[in-house]
Amino acid sequence: MICRSLKQIADMIKIENDLTPFENVMVHGVSIDSRKIESDQLFIPFKGEHSDGHRFVEDAISKGAAAAFWQKDVPNPPTHLPILIVEDCLTALQELSRSYRNELHTKVVGITGSNGKTSTKDMTASLLSLKYKVQKTEGNFNNHIGLPLTILRLDEDTDIAVLEMGMSGKGEIDFLTKLAKPNAVIITNIGEAHLLDLGSREGIAEAKLEILNGLQENGRVIYFGDETLLSERINRNGKIEIKTFGNNHSNDLFPTHINQSSSGSQFKINASNAEYFLPVLGTHNVLNALGAMLVAQYFDISFDEMKNGLNNLKLTGMRMELVEGINGVKIINDAYNASPTSMKAAIDLVSNLPDYEHKLLVLGDMLELGPDEEQFHEQIGQLINQEKISYVFTFGKLGSFIAKGAKAVFPSERVFAFTEKQELIDKVKKYCQSDMIILVKGSRGMKLEEVVASLKEN
């Protein structure tokens, strides 16, 4: 984490007040939450419409914070305390992280995409950890606040940082990548998330490709080569190296064999004779692993060495997470997020899993899909194979359109739509049995992890 004196920080960003009385105070890390402040951290208060973090500055320092920012348009700064008065607290946080990044010798891997960013981040970090000291984005700290905080948490002896870059609109990834200055980047895919803001998949592709704007000279661009929207837009100049992954044999890296089981995937690739095991469900995750493998190769880790990195992988929670439920039922908790692309992949996974007599889907709203959102949901329902899936349960207003589509291909007594979560839970519990697997998936705002938690209760 950042360890600097206030005098050093004043040299890194613009400070509006005289820090002479406190210039030797040392800061060890930063925090934006006064409730979680740790000893010697720099507290960053944000001023919002409904709350103002400046109210908690004195409390944060009394709890052990070394110092705090103070936005200059907020009156009555406590002059008796180590306060750094800045034009804008968010801008100062971002500029501090930019200065710190410029002082580090750490290499950076940037990851973006419509789906699979976090899983790919976890896989990349696991592979790189075979040889290097690695830190990665924790949780969803992948935006204009989270990424600066992640950078400031990097240890100075970290070899490689794996940083996730999220977005909701155009220009956001451009800002993040220019801040992080990656040496290698991965674009996992182009889906339908953010259609509401960007209007088309073409617009999404252009926004994701902004990640190249911060790529360092001689860096490596790794992207899902099956996606023509990316292939058509990549600027193949001589200052970057381009590698692709995907199912098509025209890619630099592709799977030659995949065997899916209820515990993960065994697969082989064109670039090695080794057989790999990925302890994560879903053939789409094999493709994510290929992107991670191309990063590891860039950092001189051989394909044979990568077997251990994948074998020991631990993914962030609520992403294809297999858990035990009541009455011996198995549950795939994929409740962190959803889009048509990821929803189709998850349904396809469950449809083709062996060893389960009954398969039940709990599917919630997919958000931010724009004016065609109802059609996207209905199409998902129409794609569900009644020969492979026993029951379909939906939750939410848009989820009802999944049910509508499913009823076009399913007997109606096997499809249920709910807008009340507890009613959904109570009904699903009646179907739970030991030879069943349940997929739970929906957008973050639907909080379907609550369904998973209830199905785990005794």
Strand partners, 260: 265
The 10s digit of each residue's pLDDT in 361-375 is: 999 999 988 888 999
Look at residue 233 in the predicted model and tell me its pLDDT.
85
Residue 316 belongs to some domain of the structure: no
In angstroms, rounded to a whole number, what is the distance separating the alpha carbons of residues 332 and 431? Answer: 16
Whole-number average pLDDT of the chain: 92
| Residue of 346, 345, 132, 120 whose CA lies nearest to 222 | 120
Alpha-carbon dihedral sign for residues 345, 220, 202, 269: negative
Tokens at 89, concatenated: 């607290």
The 10s digit of each residue's pLDDT in 275-298 is: 999 988 888 899 999 999 999 999
* Residue appearing with tokens 């040889």: 131
- Cβ neighbours for 195, distance < 8 A, ≥ 6 positions apart: 201, 204, 368, 369, 370, 372
Q: Quickly list DSSP for 220-287.
A: EEEEETT-HHHHTT----TTEEEEEESSSTTSSB-EEEEEEETTEEEEEETT-S-EEEE-SS-HHHHH
Residue 94 belongs to some domain of the structure: no
402 C-beta neighbours (distance < 10 Å), count: 32
Look at residue 198 in the predicted model and tell me its pLDDT.
66
| Residue of 135, 138, 205 whose CA lies nearest to 167 | 205
Look at residue 261 in the predicted model and tell me its pLDDT.
82
CATH number of the domain within which 413 lies: 3.90.190.20
- Cβ neighbours for 71, distance < 8 A, ≥ 6 positions apart: 45, 47, 54, 85, 86, 87, 88, 89
**Considering its fold, how many domains does the chain have in total?**
3
- Decide which of 88, 114, 143 is a domain's last residue: 88
* Residue appearing with tokens 């051989």: 302
Clarify whether residues 260 and 221 are in a common domain: yes
Predicted TM-score of the model (pTM): 0.81
Clarify whether residues 307 and 394 are in a common domain: no
Look at residue 154 in the predicted model and tell me its pLDDT.
97
- Decide which of 64, 88, 112 is a domain's last residue: 88
Residue 318 has pLDDT above 70, yes or no: no
